[in-house]
Each structure stands twice: as C-alpha cells, then as structure tokens.
Amino acid sequence: MRAAQIAKRESDLRFPVRIRIAVPAGGLGELNQMHAWLDEHCGLTGWAMAPSGTRGVLNDAISVYFLDASLASAFVARWCKGQKIEIDQGAFLVREDAPARRVPRWAP
C-alpha cells in the first residue's frame, strides 16, 4: 500500500471530521499559510491532511481532517471560495483571496 493511502486510512480512523478540497489547476499556492493556520487554530495534533482524488486522480483533491467540527467550519469559512461555499463533485473549492478584515466601529 502506498504511503499516501496509509496516511489517508490512518486519518480516516483517527479524526471524526473530514472535508475535501479540490486542488486548483495551478496547485495550492498558499499551502504553507494553510498549514500555519491549521497549526495555530487546531494545534499540531488536531488536524491532518492527505491526498483524496475525486476523479481517480490522486492529486486533484486533498482531505483535511479535524478533531472538531467547529474548527472544520472555521477552516471552510477562511479558506474556501465564495460567500456561498462552492462545491465541485463533493469537494470544496479554494478561495483566491483572503477574507475581509473586521474594522472596528470606534477607535479606542
């Protein structure tokens, strides 16, 4: 069994929440930023990532695994495309921009 398949199987067993993300044609350019966000919000052992092909191609999608559904929801809100989350064949699409920053109403 290939290492990617072993990682996916272990993650399927260990983490109760999984989301699938379609990999854009140009790849996931912000993967390091994504990893940093996951480490910061989920902790080093609170998430995992593994290949998860949707069309029989191993690298056209990834699965991100979480211990907590609320963290998965926060990840989707931050990293997935559109006001209304877009889904293509069961996988979320990655957004190309960052969400707008909150601007306080009153300056301290």
- In a domain? residue 60: yes
Report pLDDT for 66.
Answer: 93
Classify residue 17 as exposed, middle or buried by CB count within 10 Å of its CB (0-12, 13-18, 19+).
Answer: middle
Domain assignment of residue 34, given as a range: 3-88
Instruction: Say whether 61 sits in a helix, a strand or coil.
Output: strand
Q: What is the pTM of this model?
A: 0.68
Q: What is the pLDDT along the chain (108 residues), one digit of tens a residue?
A: 466 666 667 777 788 888 888 877 777 777 888 899 999 999 988 999 888 765 555 567 888 999 988 999 899 888 877 555 555 566 666 666 666 676 767 655
- In a domain? residue 68: yes
- How many structural domains is the chain composed of? 1
- In a domain? residue 64: yes
Give residue 102's identity as a one-letter amino acid code.
R
- In a domain? residue 8: yes
Instruction: Say whether 48 sits in a helix, a strand or coil.
Output: strand
- In a domain? residue 21: yes
